[in-house]
Each structure stands twice: as C-alpha cells, then as structure tokens.
Structure 1
C-alpha cells in the first residue's frame, strides 16, 4: 500500500538512526505493540498513552505533536517504521509512529518518549514479530531507508496484529 508520509514525519519526528548500541544489552523478551485506542487520551494539547517497555527507563508515553482535540480514537490505523540497514530492513528498524483514526474524521500519530528524556524523542529500535504483516509503504529515494507500514485491513484489526519486540533506544 503506497501512501504519502504523514505530516508528523515532515514535522521532524523522524530522527536519523545512530550507530548500533555497543552496550551489549540483550533484546527484550516480550512483544510490545502500539497502544490500544481506548488508552489514548487528550491532555494539554496532545494525544497521549502511557506505556511500559523493556528499554530505556522501562516506562514512557506515546505522544502526538501539539494539536487541537479532534475527538477520541475510533480505531488503530497503522504503525510505521523504517529499516536502519538495507540488509536488515525486512525485520528490524526504527518504529516511527502509531496512527489512529479519530472520531472527528482525522488521524493522529503518536511517537514514543521515554520517561528519562520526556522532552526528547529517541529512536525506538524494534524487531518485528510478524514481518509479513508489514508492507513497503513507498519506494525509497536513492540512498534512503525503506519505510514499512502495518495498516488496518481485513487481516489486521488491532495494534496487537502489528506486534514488535523493543530492542533499545538510541
């Protein structure tokens, strides 16, 4: 499915990947996912959902950019990630955001912010649980990373269908 990149990415929420983590930290053993729509709420000009992940401080928040309240989320729409290495792109990359259709007719994108650095977005490096559910979002420009989306469809009904394993924050 080809669709234009969300305005959130264009607004600077996508960070260039850093070099691989040399700390040797083992990957998390539990699958994670984008937050369920019922956990997303509007507060102080942003959509937010608290989360516990086995990376960084262990907890944080999924948050949107500042925006007007357009109603509560109706359902999960998609998750977007990009490959950090061409050879690893089909299964490992940076989770960019989780998107939700709102009752007001628009969509909202949420990105992960760790509790230790709440004002700084860091790259959430993940491994996909079911790579076959993630499809090339659009052809990459020469020399650019590939974007993949796990989008709501007949086979993908919830964020749980787009599960991933958090590896680390960069």
Structure 2
C-alpha cells in the first residue's frame, strides 16, 4: 500500500500539476489521479474478458460483454477526456496539430502539442456522442471538422471538462 496522500498539487505519485490544471479542475484533480491506473486496468480486463469468451466460443458472453461495453462508452470517453485534458493542461499552452494531419518523420511533433491534440480528439468523440444523446450541462459545441481552429479544439475540451466536473459533483465518490 502506497503512503502517498493524493492532493490537487500531486494527485498521483510523481505527477505535479500545473496552475492551469488546478484552475480548471480544482479539487477534482485527485479523482483524475485515481482514474489513470483504473482506466489502464479496466481496458486490459475488458479485452481479456472478450478474448476469453471468444476462445471459449461463448457467443452469449460476447454479446453480453459487448452490450455492457457499449453502455459504458460515454463514461469511458468522459473519463479519458478528463485525464488527457488535465495532462495537457500540465504541459502548458500551445497549438494543436492541423486537421487532417500528415505525419512527417523528418519533423517530429513536440510531445505537448501531440498531447493537446489527443485531448481535443477524445473530447471531440464525446461531443459527437452527446450530439446524439443528452448531455448533462447542455451547450454542446460543434464537432471538430478538417481545418478546425485552436479555439474550436479548446471549446470541445472545455465542454468535456464541464461534463466531467458535473458528473463528479452529481455522483461524488464514484
């Protein structure tokens, strides 16, 4: 058992948050720190369960697990968007990769730019989901399109942040 006491300054051992992350998430950064290992473990176990059901030729289990995964999709998007957004906030401000992006191995992408882009891409998936299903806070921004601006990417991240904080305040401790 770790002796680490989670706080908004250090929600996960060795992870120091930035002022931007603290301003955006406040006390909820502790929960984000708890989500990092939980999300990784959850994805491994979900895949392992589906693989075992497939190997055993148990179509009933595959169907059941697939339905369950589909229902949890929004929660996964929301949690992943919050984790990536908080990590991106800890790496300062900057630009995003253009959309569509053409990889150029001669010019490697800075890690902080890639992280911010990933954070906005996951938030965009949440936005696309919520355009088809009800959201908690409303005011859903448009989904990202090719040629989108940094402000549009910031808007989908802010929306995901609002939704995640609202879910934490509605169901504290979950």
Task: State the TM-score, normalized to the length of structure 2.
Answer: 0.22
Task: Give 1 or 2 for the bigger CA radius of gyration.
Answer: 2
Larger fraction in helix: 2
Larger fraction in strand: 1
**More RCO (CA 8 Å, sep 6+):** 1
Task: State the TM-score, normalized to the length of structure 1.
Answer: 0.22
